[in-house]
A and B are shown apart, each in its own frame.
Chain A
Amino acid sequence: MKNILLTLVLFLLAGCGAAEPQAVRLRLMTHDSFSVSEAVLAQFTAETGIQVEVFPAGDGGAVLNQAILAKNDPLADVLFGVDNTFLSRALENDIFLPYESPLLAQIPDALQLDPQHRALPVDYGDVCLNYDKTWFAARGLQPPQTLDDLLKPAYKGLTAVQNPATSTPGLAFLLATVATYGEDGYEAFWRDLRANDVLITSGWEEAYYGHFTAASDGDRPIVVSYASSPAAEVIFAAEPLSEAPTASVLGDGACFRQIEFVGILRGTKHEAAAQQLVDFMLSKPFQEDIPLQMFVFPANETAVLPPAFVQHSAIPANPATLDPALIAANRERWIAAWTAVMLR
């Protein structure tokens, strides 16, 4: 017994001695959908000696607002997950320190929306309409190709979208229609869509798992989701599938591109370590881990996509985009107009 105790004490002492008291602990604040492989993050810690503590803090908007409220006394060192629909809010509130990472050279200019490099692009994903392939095949009906198709009588009562006032993909889809039909045309599109019996839900989960025929007992074979959702359907199938049961509508302007950014929070005590973490998040190991963890596409062009991703999900050739400043200036007006057209 004494021996065991002695061994324990020695072990503890040895453990205390071995730990590096100088090791930096970084806090990475992010949204609830963030994910990374254990091994990939462990690799970063092994290489740099920097420990990373991940702090999930709600959905994208809630995370950003918390960071802004805690501006003078930041909750974390690095923040990941601000997207292009919220980017202006983050920049206007000046919560990020600029950092021109050398890895930005490997990231296309089209994704680099902040010329001062306070927010650095990490990944992008396209919000697209998904349809149930089996449903359309069984009825011999052609799946939709463009946004205009949704207004045809043949597609009456088939589509489910999310309320842009309460849902991120819902907002992205509204922005796609604004970009495609312009200020003068988007309201007319939505009025016609309403006349064609579109179903509106408050969030993505309810639309997809509550009403989408491919994933529920619902009766809507078309739903607003992501271009990567068909790949997720294969990877997370209940039984092995050779082909995705769903597909995305990829026509010009039918999808809206969301870009997610990382930034170093002003007030951090570990700026150099935070820069190392940002570099790591833009580097190949992390970037190649992104698709299967978060089901979005890596921003770094040198990253190789996993086969399941290449096979089952597509990147639209011409997604809709809007300038973040334009989004920030008009978001509430567009949502209000949409609400007036769709819900009143």
Chain B
Amino acid sequence: MIRLRFPAKLLFLLPVAFLGFFYLYPLAAILRLSLAPEGAVAWQPLRELARTPYYWRVLWFTTWQAAVSTLLVLLLALPTAYVFARYRFRGQQALRTLSTLPFVLPTVVVANAFTALLGPNGLVNGWLVGWFDLAAPPIRLHHTIWMILLAHIFYNYSVALRIISAFWQNLGDELAQAAQLLGASPRRAFCAVTWPLLRPAVLAAALLVFIFCFTSFGVVLILGGPRFATLEVEIYRQAVQVFDLPVAAALSLLQIGFTLVLLLVYVRAQARMNRPLALRAARVTAKPIKTAVDRLLVGATLALLGLLLGLPLGALLLRSVTGPDGLTLLFYRELFINRRGSLFFVPPGTAVFNSVAYALATMLLAVVLGLLAALLLTQKGKKLTIGNRQWSIVNWLDPLFMLPLATSAVTLGFGFIIALNRPPLNLRSSVLLVPIAHTLVALPFVMRSVLPALRRIRPSLREAAAVLGANPRQAWWHVDWPLIRRALLVGAVFAFTVSMGEFGATLFIARPQTPTMPVAIFRFLGQPGALNYGQALAMSSLLMLVCAVGFAAIERFRAGDEGEF
């Protein structure tokens, strides 16, 4: 590994300090206030909680729906990731962008897009009733588990697709071909060779998707309906509606604890999977479409993406330009007019500016801190001996960085209020708190995409550089950096997206008026009237457009990269 001198080593402490100040400290503060207001832990409410079967049912539901959602996402994303990694075709970049757009959309808007397509009066049911002359709409998915699963696929598809295809792109085919030369069937070659090589990225993606679905809130609440509740929904109810902080804190701990166990298992499992590899440039591994099989594969991928993602997004776009008398730009024009002279009117330019400013700040913070954290985690650090087991710092730190993703937004938001109230961390009402909170959620994305890339670099490459006279910094710059650039870009895209979509704790913090695009959308959705709804959809479409432009700009950093790793 790279050896750094003393001051540089302090750099590695930055992500740890960030996590400590902005996550662990506020979390500890709110948990202490909730569970031990008098200094000693009040066990009674916890015991009562453990004896309530309802909460165990909630935990069970939370777990299985997340597991099934993750499995479905992987099943659908793996073939697509293959096509994206192995083929070159026109519009590939546009499709990648399309797949990530759902990530930023507010759940209410997505729910209504689904209703417009699959609801009782929706498009698909309309067709089916017309074609088959049915008496009642045949598709009744509303407020069922199917709707939750469908929405989870819709939202998380791109996480799996981007992480896996970026990793796959640089895997050469020689080993699989060698296996086939030695007599293995293509299936056996895949199972015995390609899959083990691919597993670190698949597992990293699966972990992210699982945690996202495990802490699902809006999708379960709105698309699942009131009969379904995840831990996150129950925590929100207890913390906001009932204001029972002990119960909310106990459920938060349960949520965090469960994820922590999962993360520890993950860290141990992936440690055995990573092996240094000979990497190939993407332009070597990707091929143009030639045969009928190629066409079929790419065609099926396009159809799947179009049906799953394109249709709902298209319905939304169409609705935003449809007025009472057909196509119109009325709702877009109206965005620019402050009809009621309201103090809270947000000119679209301002909303775009605020959103993009927060997103860029988040991206910068997350990329720098995430990269440092990833480098720290790949250091061969000192081992801690606990009992007769040895734990490296990796085993502890890696899960810690993932935890903000698994922490209820309202818990962390309340933690900020009681913890960040005095200098030097008097940030409760600062605009800085927004990108900081977003960065906590974005960091896991950066780390999960960079770490597998960093771990598969062969040490011999760095040694060769050293033999040729490169100092450690030069070796890093010419060897590691080109090899992890693409993975870092994937992380950057998600950091940008997480912030554009306003994930997590920012919904529960008071903040000065820097209204973002999602905030403007929620304002429109809060009042009746066709104009309000139309403007909410227009603003949502604009949000997608800004994100698409953002992705294109971020991906440009890859251009000029000769090796195209």
A interface residue numbers (CB < 8 A to B): 27, 29, 32-39, 41, 53-59, 61-63, 65-66, 68-70, 73, 75-76, 89, 163, 165-166, 200-203, 205-206, 208-211, 215-219, 225-226, 229, 232-233, 235-239, 292-293, 295, 332, 342-343
* Chain B hits for A70, CB < 8 A: 417-418, 421, 428
Check A39/B526 contact, CB under 8 A, given A53-B512, A209-B112, A217-B122.
no
Check A61/B225 contact, CB under 8 A, given A32-B526, A75-B429, A210-B111.
no
Do residues B112 and A219 form an inter-chain contact, with CB atoms below 8 A? Answer: no
B510 touches A (CB below 8 Å):
yes
B525 touches A (CB below 8 Å):
yes
* Chain A hits for B341, CB < 8 A: 37-39
Shortest Cβ gap from A125 to chain B (Å):
12
Interface hit among B236-244, B453-461, B546-554: B236-244
Q: How far is the CA of A49 from the CA of B221 in the complex (A)?
A: 45
Do residues B242 and A56 form an inter-chain contact, with CB atoms below 8 A? Answer: no
Some 5 contacts from A to B, beta carbons below 8 A apart, are A36-B342, A39-B341, A66-B417, A210-B111, A238-B530
Q: How far is the CA of A254 from the CA of B424 in the complex (A)?
A: 53
- Encoded as 1 (CB less than 8 Å from any A CB) or 0, chain B from 116 to 154 comes to 100111100000000000000000000000000000000
Interface of A is mostly: mixed
Check A205/B243 contact, CB under 8 A, given A66-B510, A218-B121, A293-B340.
no
Check A55/B429 contact, CB under 8 A, given A166-B241, A233-B528.
yes
Check A89/B243 contact, CB under 8 A, given A55-B512, A69-B417.
yes
Do residues B112 and A76 form an inter-chain contact, with CB atoms below 8 A? Answer: no
Q: How far is the CA of A203 from the CA of B410 in the complex (A)?
A: 18
Q: How far is the CA of A233 from the CA of B421 in the complex (A)?
A: 43
Q: How far is the CA of A209 from the CA of B536 in the complex (A)?
A: 11
Do residues A239 and B226 form an inter-chain contact, with CB atoms below 8 A? Answer: no
* Chain B hits for A62, CB < 8 A: 240, 410, 508
Question: Which B residue sits closest to A206, measured CB to CB?
Answer: B222
Do residues B418 and A233 form an inter-chain contact, with CB atoms below 8 A? Answer: no
Q: How far is the CA of A161 from the CA of B135 in the complex (A)?
A: 26
Shortest Cβ gap from A31 to chain B (Å):
10
Do residues A218 and B417 form an inter-chain contact, with CB atoms below 8 A? Answer: no
Cross-interface CB contact of A232 among B323, B421, B528, cutoff 8 Å: B528
Q: How far is the CA of A35 from the CA of B14 in the complex (A)?
A: 41
Question: Which A residue sits closest to B322, measured CB to CB?
Answer: A238
18 further contact pairs, Cβ within 8 A, besides A215-B533, A293-B340: A34-B344, A41-B343, A55-B510, A56-B511, A61-B243, A65-B239, A65-B240, A66-B508, A75-B417, A201-B222, A202-B221, A205-B108, A211-B115, A217-B119, A237-B530, A238-B324, A238-B331, A343-B226
* Chain B hits for A332, CB < 8 A: 242
Do residues A236 and B531 form an inter-chain contact, with CB atoms below 8 A? Answer: yes
* Total contacts A-B at CB 8 Å: 175
Shortest Cβ gap from A243 to chain B (Å):
14
Q: How far is the CA of A7 from the CA of B346 in the complex (A)?
A: 33
Check A59/B227 contact, CB under 8 A, given A35-B343, A292-B340.
no
Cross-interface CB contact of B225 among A29, A200, A219, A236, cutoff 8 Å: A200
Do residues A219 and B120 form an inter-chain contact, with CB atoms below 8 A? Answer: yes
* Chain B hits for A166, CB < 8 A: 221, 226, 233, 236-237, 241
* Chain A hits for B227, CB < 8 A: 343
B534 touches A (CB below 8 Å):
yes
The total of chain B residues at the interface (CB under 8 A) is 63
Residues from 491 to 528 in B contacting A, C-beta threshold 8 Å: 507-513, 519, 522-523, 525-528
5 A-B pairs with the lowest CB-CB distances in the bound complex, closest first: A236-B529, A57-B510, A163-B226, A236-B531, A238-B530
Q: How far is the CA of A225 from the CA of B527 in the complex (A)?
A: 10
Cross-interface CB contact of B115 among A58, A163, A203, A218, cutoff 8 Å: A218
* Chain A hits for B266, CB < 8 A: none
B325 touches A (CB below 8 Å):
yes
Cross-interface CB contact of B528 among A39, A56, A229, cutoff 8 Å: A229
Do residues B510 and A233 form an inter-chain contact, with CB atoms below 8 A? Answer: no
* Chain A hits for B108, CB < 8 A: 203, 205-206, 209-210
Shortest Cβ gap from A25 to chain B (Å):
11
B49 touches A (CB below 8 Å):
no
Check A38/B531 contact, CB under 8 A, given A56-B511, A65-B240, A200-B226.
no
Check A235/B529 contact, CB under 8 A, given A32-B523, A89-B243.
yes
Do residues B530 and A215 form an inter-chain contact, with CB atoms below 8 A? Answer: yes
Q: How far is the CA of A37 from the CA of B418 in the complex (A)?
A: 32
Question: Which A residue sits closest to B506, measured CB to CB?
Answer: A58
* Chain B hits for A210, CB < 8 A: 108, 111-112, 115
Do residues B414 and A69 form an inter-chain contact, with CB atoms below 8 A? Answer: yes
B532 touches A (CB below 8 Å):
yes
Do residues A209 and B512 form an inter-chain contact, with CB atoms below 8 A? Answer: no
* Chain A hits for B511, CB < 8 A: 55-57
* Chain A hits for B226, CB < 8 A: 163, 165-166, 200-202, 342-343
Q: How far is the CA of A185 from the CA of B345 in the complex (A)?
A: 45
Q: Which of B112, B323, B513, B529 has the most CB of A within 10 A?
A: B529
Do residues B342 and A73 form an inter-chain contact, with CB atoms below 8 A? Answer: no
Do residues A236 and B528 form an inter-chain contact, with CB atoms below 8 A? Answer: yes
* Chain B hits for A53, CB < 8 A: 512-513
Q: How far is the CA of A216 from the CA of B119 in the complex (A)?
A: 11
Check A38/B115 contact, CB under 8 A, given A56-B510, A66-B414.
no
Do residues A35 and B120 form an inter-chain contact, with CB atoms below 8 A? Answer: no
Shortest Cβ gap from A67 to chain B (Å):
9
Cross-interface CB contact of B121 among A66, A89, A219, cutoff 8 Å: A219
Do residues A37 and B529 form an inter-chain contact, with CB atoms below 8 A? Answer: no
Shortest Cβ gap from B423 to chain A (Å):
12
B330 touches A (CB below 8 Å):
yes
Do residues A238 and B121 form an inter-chain contact, with CB atoms below 8 A? Answer: no
Question: Which B residue sits closest to A130, measured CB to CB?
Answer: B528
Q: How far is the CA of A332 from the CA of B323 in the complex (A)?
A: 43
Q: How far is the CA of A103 from the CA of B514 in the complex (A)?
A: 33
- Encoded as 1 (CB less than 8 Å from any A CB) or 0, chain B from 227 to 270 comes to 10000010011011111000000000000000000000000000
* Chain A hits for B528, CB < 8 A: 208, 215, 225-226, 229, 232-233, 236, 295
Question: Which B residue sits closest to A41, measured CB to CB?
Answer: B343
Q: How far is the CA of A56 from the CA of B323 in the complex (A)?
A: 31
Q: How far is the CA of A35 from the CA of B343 in the complex (A)?
A: 7
Shortest Cβ gap from B417 to chain A (Å):
5
Do residues B513 and A54 form an inter-chain contact, with CB atoms below 8 A? Answer: yes
Q: Which of B122, B344, B512, B525 has the most CB of A within 10 A?
A: B344
Q: How far is the CA of A10 from the CA of B525 in the complex (A)?
A: 47
Q: Which of B111, B323, B422 has the most CB of A within 10 A?
A: B111
* Chain B hits for A232, CB < 8 A: 527-529, 532
Check A201/B225 contact, CB under 8 A, given A57-B509, A219-B120.
yes
Q: How far is the CA of A65 from the CA of B245 in the complex (A)?
A: 10
* Chain A hits for B533, CB < 8 A: 209, 215
Q: How far is the CA of A161 from the CA of B96 in the complex (A)?
A: 39
Question: Which A residue sits closest to B328, measured CB to CB?
Answer: A238
* Chain B hits for A66, CB < 8 A: 413-414, 417, 508, 510
Do residues A29 and B222 form an inter-chain contact, with CB atoms below 8 A? Answer: no
* Chain B hits for A39, CB < 8 A: 341
Do residues A238 and B340 form an inter-chain contact, with CB atoms below 8 A? Answer: no
- Encoded as 1 (CB less than 8 Å from any A CB) or 0, chain B from 11 to 38 comes to 0000000000000000000000100000
* Chain B hits for A41, CB < 8 A: 343
* Chain A hits for B323, CB < 8 A: 238-239
* Chain B hits for A295, CB < 8 A: 527-528
* Chain A hits for B120, CB < 8 A: 218-219
Shortest Cβ gap from B54 to chain A (Å):
10
Do residues A38 and B343 form an inter-chain contact, with CB atoms below 8 A? Answer: yes
Shortest Cβ gap from A134 to chain B (Å):
13
Question: Which B residue sits closest to A295, measured CB to CB?
Answer: B527
Q: How far is the CA of A14 from the CA of B529 in the complex (A)?
A: 47
